[in-house]
């Protein structure tokens, strides 16, 4: 009967299937409306609304009201990280997947993690950026290297702005068990990939699928 942070409270929020589905959907990074989340969770609108207010009260979500729409999103990278950690355990102890399936394979290669890219591609990218000294890494702390500004501005990403959120962050990848790049730079790179149509997001999934030429372009720019 010890004290400390109330982990049961947080875990029980994630522990309901409807809420877990909602959180999973929000791991895609885009904020969703209550009706979209109700559909996603397979429950009625009133039920979804009740779940959402609980998640809000628990501090796991943020809310952005725009007119008559109310967009719910994950409260931050830490929450996303927790979901990834739980997913990792569920994956490990869960029923031995009868068959990894093609979609599952695609998820391992590349997927969206909150607002940035995850999966093998993302891990390889961070490795390469560090190897080329474009980013400087010390454990989970990642800083811009001397050539970062010119390198990224050449491909249309401005790293000069100083938002409150850190520019770079390491984020643990549940499929590869290594880190990939998060932070505003990670988000900007994902934006770039999608804007250039190097890859598209799989419908109803976190998977990100590169087109063959898109993959080449990505590798030339980030793994070159």
Partner DNA sequence: AGAATGCTTCGATGGAGACCGAACTATGCG
Partner DNA sequence: CGCATAGTTCGGTCTCCATCGAAGCATTCT
Positions that interact with a second copy (CB under 8 A): 1-2, 4-17, 19-21, 23-25, 39-42, 58-60, 75, 78-79, 81-94, 127, 139-141, 172, 177-179, 204-205
Q: Which of 69, 103, 143, 197 binds DNA (CB under 7 A)?
A: 69
Region near DNA per CB under 7 A, out of 28-36, 93-101, 112-120, 200-208 = 28-36
Nearer CB in complex with a second copy: 118/198: 118
Q: Which of 75, 78, 221 shows the shortest CA–CA distance to 140?
A: 78
Among positions 23, 27, 43, 60, the unique one binding DNA when judged by CB under 7 A: 43
Give the residue, chosen from 6, 11, 30, 35, that forms a contact with DNA under the rule CB under 7 A.
35
70 binds DNA (CB under 7 A): yes
CA dist 14 and 145 (Å) reads 38
Of residues 129, 126, 121, the one with CA closest to residue 210: 121
3-class SS at 46? Answer: helix
Ranges of beta strands (E only) in 60-167 are 61-66, 69-74, 111-113, 116-118, 135-138, 141-144
Segment (H or E) for 56: helix 45-57
Smallest separation, CB 92 to DNA (Å)? 21
The footprint of DNA (CB under 7 A) covers 12, 16-18, 33-36, 43-54, 67-70
């Amino acid at each position: 009967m010890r004290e400390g942070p109330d982990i049961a409270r947080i875990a029980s929020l994630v522990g309901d299937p409807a809420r877990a589905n909602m959180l999973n959907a929000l791991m895609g990074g885009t904020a969703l409306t209550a009706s979209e989340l109700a559909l996603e969770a397979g429950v009625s609108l009133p039920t979804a609304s009740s779940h959402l207010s609980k998640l809000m009260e628990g501090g796991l979500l943020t809310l952005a009201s725009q007119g008559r729409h109310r967009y719910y999103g994950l409260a931050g990278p830490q929450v996303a990280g927790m979901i990834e950690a739980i997913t990792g355990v569920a994956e490990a102890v869960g029923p031995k997947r009868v068959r990894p399936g093609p979609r599952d394979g695609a998820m391992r290669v590349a997927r969206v993690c909150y607002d940035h890219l995850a999966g093998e591609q993302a891990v390889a990218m961070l490795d390469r950026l560090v190897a080329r000294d474009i980013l400087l890494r010390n454990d989970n702390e990642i800083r811009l290297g001397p050539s970062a500004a010119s390198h990224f501005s050449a491909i249309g990403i401005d790293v000069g702005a100083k938002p409150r959120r850190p520019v770079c962050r390491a984020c643990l990848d549940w499929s590869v068990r290594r880190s990939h790049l998060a932070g505003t730079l990670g988000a900007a790179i994902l934006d770039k990939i999608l804007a250039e149509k190097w890859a598209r997001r799989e419908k109803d999934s976190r998977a990100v699928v590169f087109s063959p030429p898109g993959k080449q372009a990505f590798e030339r720019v980030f793994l070159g």
